């Protein structure tokens, strides 16, 4: 029986994207992410078919651990190929992310009900599958803010789930990310959902976007990345347009409110789930 290597470790939530990138660069075939016991960390499990990939991942994590004390030690286990496939499929099941939206993997049978929509996400990146509160908060805000004919910018698209949702709500979307691995996953998911004619996927950050006058901008990324971008985002949004921010812990609410005030945004609306918040702010007319 073919065996796979499973590498499991606990990392601070704000480093999960970085660690995910390191694991994919090392050659992992998939990652599972679960909330840690203290809610500030996540538990990541990566699966490797080849030993050299596992060794490369361990070396990269050892280097990262020298600078980031919060990254825990990696626990290595051997998993039969059949069991790994079963675990992977069992972990990623459909999620009702909002009243109207169901998000799930391509192997699952999904129904959203009357007036609802199904979003198919191949969970290669482990993020943007609808399992995390920050994704669900962003989807809830998009559901309320986006209408047919709107132009939407999805900054830090990841799996592409938010841009796909915007397109299924009738918008045209520009989706950007700095991670080439994420972009490949996003393009695959955009095609699988039949919205390639309405979602343009670009490599880069806000500087890669030449357009302005968006009706809605959505960004599900960490607060320390969001704050320096608020001025640039304001310049890309039309007057009266809405900015949707997620990926923010509730303890960071004061910080994000003050940053929005400094950059001349309107008074934000805050939505909550667990220890995470989503923020919706309007560019004043």
> What residues are designated binding site for S-adenosyl-L-methionine?
135, 156, 177, 220
What letter does residue 29 receive in the DSSP assignment? Answer: S
Residue linked to tokens 């070396």: 59
Q: Are 174 and 154 in contact (CB under 8 A)?
A: yes
Q: Are 89 and 105 in contact (CB under 8 A)?
A: yes
In which region does residue 259 sit, left (phi positive, over 0), alpha (psi from -120 to 50) or beta (all else)? alpha
Q: SS3 for 10?
A: strand
Do strands 151-155 and 172-177 pair parallel, antiparallel, or not at all (unpaired)?
parallel
C-alpha 222: how far from chain center: 10
Closest to 190 (Cα-Cα) out of 275, 128, 112, 100: 128
d(Cα 116, Cα 99) in Å, to the nearest integer? 8
Residue linked to tokens 């910018």: 153
Binding residues: 135, 156, 177, 220
CA distances from 203 to 33, 177, 226 (A): 25, 5, 18
């Amino acid at each position: 029986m073919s065996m796979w290597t499973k590498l499991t470790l606990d990392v601070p939530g704000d480093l999960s994207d970085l660690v995910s990138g390191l694991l994919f660069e090392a050659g992992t075939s998939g990652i599972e992410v679960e909330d840690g016991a203290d809610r500030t960390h996540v538990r990541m499990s990566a699966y490797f078919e080849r030993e050299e990939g596992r060794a490369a991942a361990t070396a990269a994590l050892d280097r990262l651990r020298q600078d980031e004390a919060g990254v825990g030690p990696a626990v290595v286990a051997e998993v039969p190929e059949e069991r790994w496939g079963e675990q992977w499929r069992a972990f990623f099941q459909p999620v009702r992310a909002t009243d109207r939206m169901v998000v799930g993997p391509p192997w699952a049978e999904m129904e959203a009900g009357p007036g609802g929509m199904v979003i198919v996400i191949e969970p290669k990146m482990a993020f943007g599958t609808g399992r995390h509160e920050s994704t669900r908060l962003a989807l809830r805000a998009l559901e309320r803010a986006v209408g047919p004919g709107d132009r939407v910018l999805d900054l830090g698209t990841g799996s592409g789930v938010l841009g796909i949702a915007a397109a299924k709500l009738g918008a045209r979307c520009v989706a950007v990310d700095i991670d080439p691995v994420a972009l490949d996953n996003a393009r695959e998911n955009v095609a699988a959902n039949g919205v390639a004619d309405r979602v343009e996927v670009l490599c880069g950050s806000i500087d890669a976007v030449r357009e302005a006058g968006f009706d809605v901008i959505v960004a599900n990324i960490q607060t320390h990345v969001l704050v320096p971008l608020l001025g640039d985002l304001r310049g890309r949004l039309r007057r009266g347009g809405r900015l949707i921010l997620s990926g923010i812990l509730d303890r960071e609410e004061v910080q994000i409110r003050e940053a929005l005030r400094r950059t001349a945004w309107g008074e934000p609306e805050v939505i909550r789930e667990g220890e995470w918040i989503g923020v919706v702010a309007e560019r004043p007319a």
